[in-house]
Amino acid sequence: MKHTTIFKLSQFFILIFTGCTSIAKVSPSQETQFKEITSSQNHTKIEKSDKKGYMQRALDEWLEEEWTPTVENDTVIQKKYMKKEKIKRENKEVEVLVQKRDRDFTLQEYVDKASAYLKAHPSDYENSHVKKLESLPVIGK
């Protein structure tokens, strides 16, 4: 019994190992499909592409239209992370609040900005995704 099991296992492994060695006759650098994927020309094409997907466009719009104006109007954020600069507009000097550029971004800054945004836009249970998910029918009930 043991001899037949050992014999069958050895035949199986010999078949597997000889099959694997006979496939790789061409080195990966000689394969045309490999060259198409890894050529440096393809990487530059991808990096230079200015096309943005739906999610990136939606995020950019939300940041520009909701997040930035809401956060910049908060007085705590203005005192902590912004400074006043004078800018000429139509032959007039106007003071504008801009982000301080000579500092590193910290996690505390994100927490402060998120709390300012949530204070200005409180979420309610009636319009939340949680309520929508809980109202969906569950399979098996």
* 9-29 pLDDT per residue, tens: 888 878 787 765 555 566 666
Three-state DSSP at 40 gives helix
Three-state DSSP at 140 gives coil
Region of 91 (left: φ > 0; alpha: ψ -120 to 50; beta: rest) is left
Q: Answer yes or no: is 6 within a domain.
A: no
pLDDT > 50? residue 38: yes
CA gap 115, 61 in Å, rounded? 20
Outline where DSSP puts E strands in the chain. Answer: 82-89, 92-99
CA gap 103, 53 in Å, rounded? 31
Could you tell me the pLDDT band of residue 42, with boundaries at 50, 70 and 90?
A: low
Q: Answer yes or no: is 27 within a domain.
A: no
Q: Answer yes or no: is 1 within a domain.
A: no
Mean pLDDT of the chain: 79
Q: Answer yes or no: is 29 within a domain.
A: no
pLDDT > 70? residue 135: yes
pLDDT > 50? residue 39: yes
- What does the pLDDT look like over 64-105, one tens digit per residue? 999 999 998 888 888 888 888 888 888 888 887 878 777 788
Q: Which residues pair with 88 in a beta bridge?
A: 93
Residue for token pair 């393809």: 42
105: containing domain: 56-135
Q: Answer yes or no: is 71 within a domain.
A: yes
Which range (3-7, 65-69, 104-108) has the least confidence? 3-7
Number of domains composing the chain: 1
Q: Answer yes or no: is 118 within a domain.
A: yes
Pairwise pLDDT comparison (33 vs 114), residue with the higher score: 114
Per-residue confidence (pLDDT) for residue 105, from 0 to 100: 81
Q: Answer yes or no: is 11 within a domain.
A: no
Please say whether the beta carbons of 86 and 95 come within 8 A.
Answer: yes
Q: Answer yes or no: is 41 within a domain.
A: no
